[in-house]
Amino acid sequence: MTRDFSVAVLGATGAVGRSLIELLEKRNFPTRHLKLFASERSAGQTIHFRNAEITIQNIAEFYNETFDTSFLCLNNQLVREHRSRILANSNKVIDNSSAFRMEPETPLIIPEVNLDDLNKDHSYVAVPNCSAIIMLMAVAPLRTLGKIERVIISTYQSASGGGAAMMDELIEQSHAHLQGNSIKPRITPFPYAFNLFSHNTPINDLGYNGEEWKVIEESRKILKQPNLGINVTCVRVPILRCHSESITVEFADRRPSVEEIQAVLQSASGIRLVDDPKNNHFPMPSEASKQCDVFVGRIRHDLSHAQAISLFVCGDQLYKGAALNAIQIGESMIDLGYL
C-alpha cells in the first residue's frame, strides 16, 4: 500500500519553490496535503497545484502544524535562524540552502551519486550547490573508468541561479538596452543584459568567490575525496535558466577512450548525451530548460594532457540543481522506508 504524506514548501513563491511545486505535481509525489509558505508579502496569493489553487500562508503559520516532509527553499540566513524550530515540526527536512551543507553530520546528497550517505536517522538533509550537482552528475560516473585526480571547470551560470528577482532584472535590463535606455542595475552588481560578470559572491583570501568555494568543498565531500584537485571559475551569463559548464577531467592512471566515456554516460541515470559533432549540436540552455536530465556532450580528449578528457554540460539548475534533486531525496526516503 502506498502512503500519502503531508508536505510543506517553505519559500514557495521563489524560483526554486515554484519549480518544486511544479515537479511535485509532475512526478506525482505522494502528497496528502500540500501547504505553501513564504513571507508575509506573499500571504494570500495562490499557486496552482493539481486542479486547485493553494493559498500561500505567512511562514509564521508553519509552526502551528506538523508535516511529514518540509522542503526548504529559503535563504541561508532564515534557515540558520529557524532550522531547529522547523525540525521540531517536520519528520524530514530537505534543504536547498547552503546554510549547513558542510556540517560533518549533514548528509549532502545527489541520489545518483551518494545515496549511501543517507540513513534512516537523518532528519535533515542538504541539497548540494547547483553547479556542483550539474558537474558531478557527469563526472561521478566516470570514476568507473579510473581514479579521478583533478577537475577543471568554467561555469556559464544563468540569472535564475540568483532567484526570481534576478530573472526579473535580466528581463528588465534587456528591454532597457534594446530600447536604447541606460541600464541601472538594482540587484546585479554590474549591467547584466548583453554582458557577463564573475559570479556575484564575495571573494575569499585565496581569490575564489563563494560559488567556486562551494563547488570545491562540496564536491570533495560528496565524492569523499578530500584531496581532489579542483580548479573552478564561476561566471554569470545573461541566460534566464540553466547552468552550462566546460569541464576537463584528469585521470590518475590512464586516459579512457571517447567511446568508453560515451558508453558510461549513456547508461548513467539522469544524463542525456547530446554529442553530435557533425551538426555541431551540443548541450545548450534552450534545450535543457525544464528537463530533468543533465545534458552532456563535446566529449573529447584534452590534447594538452596525456590523461585528460574534456566535456561540456548543461543542466536546469532550478530542476536538477535544486528542486528535482530535493524531491528525488524525498522519493528515495520513501523507497528506502525512511519516510
Ligand X SMILES: NC(=O)c1ccc[n+]([C@@H]2O[C@H](COP(=O)([O-])OP(=O)(O)OC[C@H]3O[C@@H](n4cnc5c(N)ncnc54)[C@H](OP(=O)(O)O)[C@@H]3O)[C@@H](O)[C@H]2O)c1
Chain contacts with ligand X (rule: CB under 6 A): 11-17, 38-39, 41-42, 59, 73-76, 78, 96-97, 130, 160-161, 163-165, 317-318, 321-322
Catalytic residue among 73, 199, 234, 243: 243
Catalytic residue among 130, 242, 292, 314: 130
Q: Given the complex with ligand X, which of 17 and 141 has the nearer CB atom? A: 17
301 flagged as catalytic: no
Q: Given the complex with ligand X, which of 243 and 255 has the nearer CB atom? A: 243
Which residue in the block uniquely carries the three cell numbers 528591454? Answer: 175
Q: What are the cell numbers at 35?
A: 501547504
Nearest distance, CB of residue 245 and ligand X, angstroms: 14
Nearest distance, CB of residue 205 and ligand X, angstroms: 23
Residue nearest ligand X, CB atom distance? 14
Q: How far apart are CA 306 and CA 304, in angstroms?
A: 7
Nearest distance, CB of residue 127 and ligand X, angstroms: 7
Q: What is the DSSP string of 260-328?
A: HHHHHHHHSTTEEE--BGGGTB---HHHHTT-SSEEEEEEEE-TTSTTEEEEEEEE-TTIIIIIHHHHH
Strand ranges (DSSP E) for the chain? 5-10, 31-38, 46-49, 52-58, 67-72, 90-95, 124-126, 148-156, 197-198, 229-233, 235-236, 243-251, 271-273, 294-301, 308-315
Nearest distance, CB of residue 318 and ligand X, angstroms: 5
314 flagged as catalytic: no
Q: Given the complex with ligand X, which of 78 and 334 has the nearer CB atom? A: 78
Tell me if 91 sits within 8 A of 5, measured CB to CB. no
Active site residues: 130, 243
